[in-house]
Homo-oligomer: A and B are copies of this chain.
Amino acid sequence: MRSKKYSVILGNLGNTCDRFLSSGYKDTLDKDKMLTQAASIEGVTGIELVGTWDIDEKCVGEMKRKLSDRKLQCSSIIPDMFGQKRWGRGSLSAPDAEIRRQAIVELKSCADMAFELGCDLLNLWPGQDGYDYPLAADYIEERQWLIEGVREVAKYAQPKGVRIALEYKMKEPRTHSYLARACDTLLVAQATGLDNVGVTIDTGHAFLAYENVGEVVALLKMHGDRLFHMHFNDNYTSWDDDMIVGSIHLVDYFEMLYWLERTGFNGWYSIDEYPYREDGYRSIRNSVLFLQRMHALLEKNGMTTVEKLIRQRDPVVTSEFIRENLVAR
């Protein structure tokens, strides 16, 4: 089995809020300390940075040095298309042409920063692009804007070797997102006509949409090999609870790691959690450790064994496998 690259999102180590407690459940942490904490997690070599929050054009050189000091790579930049008032009604698909223009400017700037940091990936989650009510949006017009915006940014990023991974999520903060599920997102990637546009699977977003991550990995392989990036977290399957990996699910994680390996995924295994009330560092670290345990179990059992298992297509045999190989004695 290929060796794996683990990564975390910097902000996950810091303070987190919700609509009822907007000041956050914890204290704000120093970014340098967060970087040092991230670097100290066993096996973590990558860090995802959120645009504006963690990085902007002024501090990119300094950040480069900080990462280098800690032997960290920038695994992706996550452009902030969700946390500013101006994006409240959408970014690339906003009704206001001036906002759409600003979104493109911002994304190109992120592509520049990625290039400067030696990072080849923008993880684009356009969370505000969608709608909240029926009969209150022009789906064709807005989707068209979205596709055109992604295309323009991807064209700009391509010569810099920067790829765009579109992260989908069915809902939140809008009741309906335009990039909602794996396959509608793939259609947007295809519609750009560019090879450097692909998809990010966030495991929690997939659970929420009743998608089976293993199957989605297979689908993205089959239809153009467009899986660019992975975000890991757990939830109760009806909301993006952003919990520690392995708190609820077990078999699903094992299965998705099998499919990632089988389809030759060689990107980052990155943790994306929201530890509202938990200690950030310890919470993220345990997600990494769980993922590494799953990888170790996959290696121990072997790809051939799992392939044989799934080809038997007998849930009873699978149930024996789970009890014998995934659950403690």
Contact = CB atoms under 8 A, between A and B. Distances in A.
Interface string A1-43: 0000000000000001111111111000000000000000000
B171 A239 contact: yes
Contacts of A20: 82-83, 127-128, 173
A102 interface: no
Contact of A327 (B223, B244, B250): B250
Contact of A255 (B18, B95, B134): B134
Given A219-B184, A238-B238, A243-B133, A329 B327 contact: no
B315 A283 contact: yes
Interface stretch (A55-63, A151-159, A175-183): A175-183
Contacts of A133: 243-244, 247, 315, 318-319
Interface string A139-158: 11101100000000000000
Q: What interface size band does chain A fall in?
A: 35 or more
A131 B314 CA distance: 10
Contacts of A307: 138
Nearest to A289: B323
B286 A323 contact: yes
A279 interface: yes
A277 interface: yes
B239 A310 contact: no
A281 to B, nearest CB: 9
Contacts of A184: 182-183, 219
Interface of A: 16-25, 82-85, 88-89, 95, 127-128, 131-141, 143-144, 170-173, 175-176, 181-184, 186-187, 191, 209-210, 212, 214-215, 218-219, 221-223, 235-239, 241, 243-244, 246-252, 254-255, 258-259, 274, 276-279, 282-283, 286-287, 289-290, 293, 296-297, 306-307, 309-323, 325-329
A214 B210 CA distance: 21
Given A278-B315, A290-B327, 4 more contacts: A135-B255, A135-B318, A171-B210, A297-B328
B297 A137 contact: no
Contacts of A82: 20-21
A84 B160 CA distance: 46
Contacts of A327: 246, 250, 290, 293, 297, 326-328
Contacts of A237: 236-238
A222 B143 contact: yes
A142 to B, nearest CB: 9
Nearest to A143: B222
Nearest to A283: B316
